[in-house]
Amino acid sequence: MSEPERIVITSTQTFGTDQPDPDETLADPMELLALWFPENTDELRPLMTLATVDAEGYPDTRNVLLSEFDGEALYFHTDARSRKVVELTANPRVSLAFAWVDLGRQLTVVGDAEQASGGEADAAYRARSRYLQLLAWSNSPELAALRAVERRRAWAAFAETHPDGTLQPPPTWVGFRVVPRRVTFWRGDADGPSNRVEYTRTRDGWTAVRLPG
Tens-digit pLDDT profile for residues 72-105 = 999 999 999 999 999 999 999 999 999 999 999 9
Distance CA 154, CA 187 (A): 45
Tens-digit pLDDT profile for residues 166-176 = 999 999 999 99
Q: Where are the domains of the chain?
A: 29-128+171-211
Distance CA 177, CA 171 (A): 19
| CATH C-level class of 29-128+171-211 | mainly beta
Identify the sign of the CA torsion 167, 67, 43, 65.
Answer: negative
**CA-based nearest residue to 179, from 123, 109, 83, 121:** 109
Return the pLDDT at 169.
97
Q: Is this structure's pTM higher than 0.75?
A: yes
Are the beta carbons of 85 and 172 closer than 8 angstroms? no
DSSP state of 162: S
